[in-house]
Structure formats: C-alpha cells, structure tokens
Structure 1
C-alpha cells in the first residue's frame, strides 16, 4: 500500500479543522518557563505516516454491520493519539477501502461546522462566580493558554481544552487521533466525508443550559482534572483502545473516577448514550444508498444503548471484526 500525498490545501483544511474542534485557544502563550507547557504536535508529514505504516497494527474496535445485501462498518475510535498510531491497521484499512463514504460524528472539514465551533469559543462569556473564574484562569495559565481567550465564549467549552492539554502531557494529541488518520486517508483517496450529527447537535450535548449549570460543570471539571486518578484514567483508556480491550472500555464507568456527582453523571449520559439513537439513525439512513465506514468514539459502542446493540435492533447483522 502506498500513501497518496495530500495537497497543501488539504493539509490546511485538516489543520484548521482540528484546531477548531480540539482547541478552545487560538495560540499558545509562552511563559517565562516554556518547558512547563504541554508539548505541541508537529503536522502529520509524509515521513511520519510512512514510519507509522511500517509498524501499523489494528487498534480500536471494528464491527461489520450488514443489511439488505450491503455491508458497512462501525469503528470505535479514540479522539487523541500518538504519532506512531498515525496509520490504519490492515483490517481497518481493508474495511475502509470497501466503503463509499467516511462518516464521522461531525465533519470537521465543513466550514459551517467550523463556524459553529468558533461561535462556542468566541461568543458572549458565561457569568461565573468570581472565585470559580479565578480558578479557571489559574488552571488555564498553567497550561500556557492565552488569558484573553477566557473573556469570550462558553467557559464549559473552554474547560475541555484543559483536558486536551492534560492528554498532550501524556503524549496523546487530537491531531494524531483516529479521526485524523481516517480523514487523511479519505481526503487522499477522494472518499467523501460526512457528519452523522450537526455541530449544533453536538454542542447542545456539550454546552450548559444556563449559567448555573455551566458553573457546576466547570467546577467539577476542574476538580476532576486535579484528582490523582485523572492521568491514570486517561492512560488506561488509551491502553484499552490500543490493545482492543473492549471489556475494559465496557467497565469505564467503574474505574474512570469521573462519574462521582449528579452533574457528572447527567453530563455523561447526555454526551454519550443520549446521542446514540441519533447516530444510529444517521448510519441507517446512509447505509440505504452506500456502504459506510462510521467512526465514532469508543464509549458510544458499549452497553444496551451502544451503537452495535441499537443497530442490531434495527435489523442489522452485527459482527465484531476485532
């Protein structure tokens, strides 16, 4: 297999898309001690992709879903990865090649999606209690993020950038995540890319409904990031995805130390299981006309409301590939 190099325009689209999706900050503010900042990824060059391909192996979770004489695929992803993961394994590559469209949760290359994401970061700021805002500013500064970015946009959206910075300190980068790999392969191979959700649907699951809920979400997110188990949980999630350990992903709620309060549990249910029926409906609609490679976060694959179970209920024959 050979790589078809992306054009400058395609690389620019990819970089812009992931900057908008994964980062609430427009730039990194260099402090006096720049060594304390999270490491930043380099663009995925041809050399990086070739090196990753030399050690490519199947990671994540893959199902074949068939109905009415057509096969599609369901792939459980991780949204941040390591440089050496920037290649599809042989079975994932073969499955992608059999499909006519790549379906992601949202199509981050769509200008309308990028505009909606910018709106979440650049709109009017939330009214948070002064002491909470100071805690957020302190945590923000510790990750070398520009202070001015907190003067606009939804604070509960911004706080997710602190989790991104935490992942980067562990060597996990959104730009090297599974979705990015799939986008590179699809853009290079002229495969259409579509979103299973609108940006508004995803943002409605992420954003608070009012300032009080936003304050609770920010307070609990900051507390979660300070827990001793936070880094261990992220590392464990990455290891389970790399090792294709679906049983450990299924037990995520038992070991993540992230569902300790009513607000955390409600937010998780809204962000994960609450979106699954809509995702399943979108996959079903696409499958009527074309074989689909649907790539969705691995946590959407587990439990009675997981996508494999929902699609099985819609009459699909669902077979785990790995």
Structure 2
C-alpha cells in the first residue's frame, strides 16, 4: 500500500499559486478543501483569506442551487417495492442496523436507500452528520456564500447531476463495496474523522490520500482502483479543462476537494503539464 504513495506529485500543501509565464495576467490560486463543517477548517488561514480576497472569480466543484437537495432526494431512493437488503449479506445488514442506532435513524427507513446513498450518508461520523442537519455549512459552501456576499462571480466546474451520475452508473457490487468500507469502520468513525482533520490541518494531502486508500482497501482492494479512476482521475481531467478559460483571464480562485490536487492525474500536475508555473503558498 505504501508503494502507491511513492513519487506522488504535489502531496503536501493546500494553496498553490498558478501562473502562466506566457500570459501577463493576475495570478490564479488553487485551494484544496475538505467537505466538512468543523470550525477549525472553516477558520481559514491568513494566506488563503488573502488569496481569496483578491479573486476576480471563484470556481468550485459545483455551484450551489436551490434545487440540488430535491434532486438528491429524488435519486437516493430505490424503486418502490425494492429494499437494500436485496444487495447486502447478513453481516452487512447487521452493521446497517448498528449504523441506524448510531446515527439515530429508523432502520426501516434506511432500507429504502440505494447502497451508494448509504455510503454517502455514513462517510461522515454522527457528530458531523448532526452539524450538517442543524444547518452548519461545509467549508466549500461557506466560501461560496462569502464570495457572493462580496460580489465575486461564482462558477461550478461540475453539476450535481454529473456528480450523482457517477454513483448511479456504478455497478451494484461497487456500490456495495463502497458501503461495506464505511460500515466496517463504524466503531472508529469518529477517530478516523479526527485523523482526517489533523492531516488536513497539517496540509498533508498525501496522508489523506493514503488514509482513503486504507479505508476502502479494508473492504475490497479493487474498489479503490475503480473509485480513483471514476471519482478522481476522470473528474480531474474534466475540471482542468473547464477552468482553462478563467485561468487564462487571471485572478481565478479555485476551491476543490484536496484529494483532487496530488498525483500524476491530479489537478496540479495536469496544470503543470499545460505549462503553468506552480508555487506552493500554504
């Protein structure tokens, strides 16, 4: 497993200045986020605040829309008459029952959800789930709100439809493998979440990458390879293409999940391969 981390480019740092040597425009910035509500993360470092304050435009994975929640609710449920028990073995159903108790959700209600939706639900610990339910904003959403408050145009690099389609197109066995990876870590979910936050606050993105691999490999080694290709590599290529127009005009602030930054097919390496000059700021 550690061998995968060898020579992974751009594994340290969360804020990078992106300049085009052939184009005399204001520098751009790429900031790696983590999709959580924790106050330690929302309290942005001064270096990030400064770069964000200079932004001409702000780019995020998706641009918030009022209809997103309704679309999500529409897609997460199985067809009438179906149950997630059709996809899970007895051990997984036992763990699902445990998750229902841990998160304070009626177990019968959980059986109506698709396996990928349950994976998404239990990818965060009960404490984080409770904060989100109470209306606390994740870092990305809080930054979008701040940008709008200051009159900075906000753009999305993807749509919620595109993101959800990645889950929808995943074969049943892959969806179950994703779900199994989180169900088997219910006892350590709060500790694992704190480990993630500590790695992020230390700007150790490579460490977060290894943690993600370890968590999913615990269930199915093939699941990680599929997950990386589908949810990271493919999306990185699309996002880099879609940010080009804004980068060439200069003054763009790009905020995307930190796992999109490192690696051969990470956003930063892809930008460098296009001729941009990258400088780690924080």
Q: TM-score, normalised by structure 1?
A: 0.69
The question of 1:283 aligning with 2:229 is answered no
* Secondary structure, counterpart of 2:193 in structure 1: helix
Aligned counterpart for 1:258 among listed residues 200, 216, 222: 216
Partner in structure 1 of residue 7 of structure 2: none
Structure 1 window deviating more from structure 2 (147-156 vs 163-172): it is 163-172
Listed one character per residue, the Cα deviations across residues 66-93 of structure 1 (whole Å, up to 9, x for unaligned) are: 2222321100111114224433322211
Aligned counterpart for 2:55 among listed residues 65, 83, 99: 99
Partner in structure 2 of residue 113 of structure 1: 68
The answer to whether the 8 A contact 1:78-1:178 is kept is: yes
Partner in structure 1 of residue 199 of structure 2: 240
Q: For 1:122 and 1:142, locate their aligned partners in 2 and report how far apart those are by CA, in whole Å.
A: 21
The answer to whether the 8 A contact 1:154-1:207 is kept is: no
Alignment of 1:1-322 (within 5 A): 61-67=14-20, 68-70=23-25, 71-107=27-63, 109-122=64-77, 124=79, 127-129=86-88, 131=90, 132-133=92-93, 135-147=95-107, 149-166=109-126, 168=128, 175-207=136-168, 209-226=170-187, 228=188, 230-246=189-205, 248-249=207-208, 251-252=210-211, 256-260=214-218, 261=220, 262-289=222-249, 291-322=251-282
Partner in structure 2 of residue 7 of structure 1: none
Q: For 2:129 and 2:62, locate their aligned partners in 1 and report how far apart those are by CA, in whole Å.
A: 26
Distance 1:129 1:169, change over 3 A: closer
Q: For 1:113 and 1:268, locate their aligned partners in 2 and report how far apart those are by CA, in whole Å.
A: 24
Q: For 1:130 and 1:248, locate their aligned partners in 2 and report how far apart those are by CA, in whole Å.
A: 32
Q: How far does residue 110 in structure 1 lie from its aligned partner after superposition?
A: 1.4
Distance 1:235 1:314, change over 3 A: same
**Contiguous gaps of at least 5 residues in structure 2:** 1-12
Q: For 1:247 and 1:219, locate their aligned partners in 2 and report how far apart those are by CA, in whole Å.
A: 24
Q: TM-score, normalised by structure 2?
A: 0.77
Q: How far does residue 282 in structure 1 lie from its aligned partner after superposition?
A: 1.5
How many aligned residue pairs are there?
Answer: 259
The answer to whether the 8 A contact 2:17-2:278 is kept is: yes
The answer to whether the 8 A contact 1:120-1:153 is kept is: no
Partner in structure 2 of residue 52 of structure 1: none
The answer to whether the 8 A contact 2:35-2:139 is kept is: yes
**Contiguous gaps of at least 5 residues in structure 1:** 1-59
Partner in structure 2 of residue 14 of structure 1: none
Distance 1:251 1:170, change over 3 A: farther
* Secondary structure, counterpart of 2:72 in structure 1: helix
Q: For 2:71 and 2:166, locate their aligned partners in 1 and report how far apart those are by CA, in whole Å.
A: 14
Q: How far does residue 257 in structure 1 lie from its aligned partner after superposition?
A: 3.8
Q: For 1:215 and 1:253, locate their aligned partners in 2 and report how far apart those are by CA, in whole Å.
A: 17
Distance 1:263 1:97, change over 3 A: same
Q: For 1:194 and 1:213, locate their aligned partners in 2 and report how far apart those are by CA, in whole Å.
A: 31
